[in-house]
């Protein structure tokens, strides 16, 4: 049984999709959970809905692409609720196009949110984890970080970069009781994949041996394990959850 009582988790981008399912799962295991979204009302409403099943969930507005804001918000959280034990870098966006048409704005937006945002959050929580000599950093990457994907040079670079950063975090803080791992989902039913055209969905489904997209809860199960004491000897790894699409 995974027991996260007494642990405080920060899940970036917890307002919907995979992040929301992760927040629900960590709450169910007894953690105090803080979720973030870009708008104050979005984060507050999602936190209120999550709290209905019991447990302590707070929502805060945070744009993870804003490096200074990340530092300030996590510092304030430290004063208001205490240091973060479990960080789940989940906030992510896509802005797809083939390389020859992808503009600088699309590159910067995706790298700044997915990769720089994850770095900023990890940097801001590490000191508190070191003091406790316990911490969990879980980076949500993607199957495409290993496979590449047409139209996603920015997203693929960000996710592969997050996996490299995960291995460095694992090495730098292993002796302090802090683990860092990545969870790389395949195609999961969320707003992000619902935005895809039917033909693209069909093409992808044909490549998935279990013949369906995954559910956000199936990613959340893996995150709960990695956040637990049971996963203390697992660090620097990428856990793939993709219905067999990549093996
Ligand atoms: N769905 C998939 O098939 C799939 C597959 C592999 C990996 N992933 C990864 O899993 C993670 C979650 O994906 P999802 O499908 O659940 O996405 P989603 O449904 O589009 O939700 C994205 C979440 O990220 C938040 N967010 C976006 N930009 C942000 C920013 N700058 N600062 C703070 N929060 C921000 C959004 O919050 P607000 O809109 O409220 O601001 C929302 O909560 C992403 O990292 C994604 O790359 C998804």
pLDDT for residue 196 is more than 90:
no
Query: If you measure from the C-alpha of residue 13 to the centroid of ligand 1, how many angstroms do you get, rounded to a whole number?
Result: 6
pLDDT for residue 123 is more than 90:
yes
245, part of any domain: no
- Give the pLDDT score at 192: 85
For the chain, the domain total comes to: 1
- Average of pLDDT values for 222-226? 98
- Give the pLDDT score at 134: 98
Q: What is the CATH number of the domain that holds 221?
A: 3.40.50.720
Cα(158)–Cα(93) distance, integer angstroms: 10
136, part of any domain: yes
14, part of any domain: yes
Q: Identify the three-state secondary structure at position 229.
A: helix
- Give the pLDDT score at 1: 84
Which atom belonging to ligand 1 lies closest to the Cα atom of 214?
3
246, part of any domain: no
243, part of any domain: no
Query: If you measure from the C-alpha of residue 55 to the centroid of ligand 1, how many angstroms do you get, rounded to a whole number?
Result: 23
139, part of any domain: yes
pLDDT, tens digit, for every residue of 124-149?
Answer: 999 999 999 999 999 999 999 999 99
- Give the pLDDT score at 195: 86
DSSP string, 43-109: HHHHHHHHHTTSS-EEEEE--TT-HHHHHHHHHHHHHHT---SEEEE-------B-GGG--HHHHHH
Among 51-55, 108-112, 170-174, 240-244, which stretch is predicted with the lowest mean pLDDT?
Answer: 51-55
CA-closest residue to ligand 1 atom 40: 37
155 is catalytic: yes
Cα(61)–Cα(78) distance, integer angstroms: 15
- Selection from 71, 60, 75 nearest residue 23 by Cα: 60
- Give the pLDDT score at 193: 87
- Domain of 208, in residue numbers: 8-237
Name every protein residue with a CB atom under 6 angstroms from any ligand 1 atom.
12-19, 36-38, 42, 62-65, 90-93, 113, 140, 142, 185, 187-188, 190-193
Residues above pLDDT 90, as percent of the chain: 95
pLDDT, tens digit, for every residue of 53-107?
Answer: 989 999 999 999 999 999 999 999 999 999 999 999 999 999 999 999 999 999 9
142, part of any domain: yes
Pocket probe mutation, ligand 1, options 11, 12, 17, max atoms within 8 Å of Cβ: 17
3, part of any domain: no
């Amino acid at each position: 049984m995974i027991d996260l009582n007494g642990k405080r988790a920060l899940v970036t981008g917890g307002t919907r999709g995979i992040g929301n399912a992760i927040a629900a799962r960590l709450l169910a295991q007894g953690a105090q959970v803080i979720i973030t979204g870009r708008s104050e009302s979005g984060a507050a409403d999602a936190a209120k809905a999550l709290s209905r099943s019991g447990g302590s969930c707070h929502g805060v507005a945070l744009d993870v692409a804003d490096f200074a804001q990340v530092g300030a918000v996590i510092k304030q959280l430290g004063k208001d609720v205490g240091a973060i034990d479990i960080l789940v870098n989940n906030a992510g966006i896509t802005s797809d196009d083939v390389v020859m048409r992808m503009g600088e704005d699309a590159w910067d937006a995706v790298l700044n949110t997915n990769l720089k945002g994850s770095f900023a959050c990890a940097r801001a929580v590490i000191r508190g984890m070191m003091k406790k000599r316990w911490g969990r950093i879980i980076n949500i990457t993607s199957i495409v970080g290993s496979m590449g994907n047409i139209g996603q040079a920015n997203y693929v670079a960000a996710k592969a970069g997050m996996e490299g950063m995960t291995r460095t975090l694992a090495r730098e803080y292993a002796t302090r009781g802090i683990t860092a791992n990545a969870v790389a989902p395949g195609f999961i039913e969320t707003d992000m994949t619902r935005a895809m055209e039917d033909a693209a969905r069909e093409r992808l489904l044909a490549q998935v041996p279990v013949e369906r997209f995954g559910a956000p809860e199936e990613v959340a199960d893996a995150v709960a394990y990695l956040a637990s004491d049971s996963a203390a000897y697992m660090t620097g790894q990428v856990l793939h959850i993709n219905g067999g699409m990549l093996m």
